[in-house]
Structure 1
Amino acid sequence: MNKELMFALSNADAVACRESEVRSIMHEELDNIADAVEYDKLGSIMFKSAGTEENPVRILFTGHMDEAGFMVRYISDIGMVHVIGVGGPRKNSVESQIVRIKTRSGEKVRGVLFAKHDADGTPTDMYIDFGCEKAEEVRELGIEIGDWGTFAAECELKPVGDILLGKAFDDRAGVYVVTEAMKRLANTPHAAELWFVGSSSEEVGCRGAQTAAAHLDADIVIPVDIANPPEFDRGWNNSRKNGHGPMIVHYDRMHVPNEKLLHFIVDTAEKSNIPFQRDLFKGGGTDAGTAHLVGDGKLATVIGVPLRYCHGSWSVMRGADLDAAVDLVCALATSIDRATYEELKSFE
């Protein structure tokens, strides 16, 4: 695992359409090995690795850059800063947490997040206490309505088990995987034209992969995302166990993968001795749900990285699962050519 890259991605702050910090990291890592760099109009960034075939199939591997966070909606006369959630912060993570608001000047101001709750425990009013006593003091800090923020956790690595703790693993794990995969493949010939993408605004409607797929006219779209398990279940009902490899997602409420592509990915993982888990989402969805509907349809499925406490102030995952996900992306990237694609998409 590239510890430095994962730390940088986790510690960066980026909610939907405010993803410049993550975009800059990807650009720094990949610009010198990319055959082209392109952007869509939402801010998704796309790096090309040219294929060797004359008419190559175009494959898009994507991780979304945005995380669950907050936006300032009101500054009260007594100096409390009321916020809304952007992308669905975990409701049991919005009490007594350190967060940071990024001002228009780029300065980050730390405060303590609290919330009022209804009878079911759902937050009804989230607010940040910066220690101010009036609105003027808040504005002297540079904070204004519309400014955004995130949890303020800083990534760390445990000395045993390759265990990572940090924020924004949804979906900096996916961004890490596509970034490391492109770097690994830099000197490896491959038939397909590969695009490694940091997509914008997944947490507010699965938007960026859709626009990126349209921009590139991709043939195959494979988002790398995460999924959250039941924390205390290590049995059959948990197909997202930390340390057991990435998930190959067979179903979610927004997308049912092409059957041939799904079998191809499973077979590729098995032939490559890459550990994996078969997963189904009872609810929720990913960028595949919108991207596969572009044009007359795209082949798509999702590779997931298991972690615990998705959208929380802290999450827990294992570096070995990141490494295995990189292995799987690389194996797929070097296994699909035009003839394979034509067979996968055929219904005759």
Structure 2
Amino acid sequence: MSLRKVVEVRGLVKWFPVKTGIFQNKILGYVKAVDEVDFEIYEGQTLGLVGESGCGKTTTARCILRLVEPTKGEIIFNGIDITKLKQKELRKLRPKMQIVFQDPYSSLNPRLTVKEIIGEALDYHGIAKGKELEERVKELLEMVGLAPEHMRRYPHEFSGGQRQRISIARALATNPDLIVCDEPVSALDVSIQSQILNLLEELQEKFKISYLFISHELNVVKYISHRIGVMYLGKIVEICDSEELYTNPLHPYTKALISAIPIPNPKVKRQRIILEGDVPSPFNPPQGCRFTPRCRYAMEICKKEHPRLIEVSPNHLVACYLYQS
């Protein structure tokens, strides 16, 4: 049985203009943060998005939610291309797409109680009010492992893990189909990370929620994701099932990332692949394949044009001329 596509992204582009002049009225060029990105997210599954800092992961996520307006491309959410919707029309879809931010310390309003934080969206969208809203907040707190009496407290009275649980409860409040998790555990202790990941998995199994999970920690992404996309300088260079990516990485960049994962056995050593040079600037990326300056397998064609993302085995797509005839 084929799974329903909750999100389908086609040719997503986001360029940020770099302006100059006294009045900032001249465009010097563009920072190509996201450049021709394609992927799908299926119902009840998690797509992990990994890559070095600055590769465009968060910009991609914010474009999908239209917190940032895409330059071009299609973002089809539940069968509707949301890039064509006006803000009033988009507002009706907002309850079905939510986000959990990286930092639980800054993503919660310190002036509001937990009840007000979680209940804000319920009240705004007319989902619940009064006594019904209070009961719904209590139910959500219990879902994420907190007590009903916590609803009267303020964010500063909680630990980092508890705050992130409140953020997850807020995201769940409107019964969303998609939750974007933007590095949701990177600011937490390792022991708390596993608790939050287990909570996300339990909620996904119970409510069939789809996640876009963004992280630079490959072990975390492997644990929670069904499929993983690897981004480098604004482009997806490889995407496939989670297990397949870790057992059979194809792109040279993916191989280098995986070689950096420590093995929890002091007697076993992994052969580390060290990438030479620095990540090029997204303001002036290489003309061909963007990984060419750091790739030990680079060919002449790599310097001229970027390879297409093609399927080299079932559900395993890679953008590299090593695998293109």
Aligning the two structures, in what range does the TM-score lie when normalised by the shorter sequence? under 0.3
Compute the TM-score of the two structures, normalised by the length of structure 1: 0.25
Q: Which has the higher contact order (CA 8 A, sep 6+)?
A: 1
Compute the TM-score of the two structures, normalised by the length of structure 2: 0.27
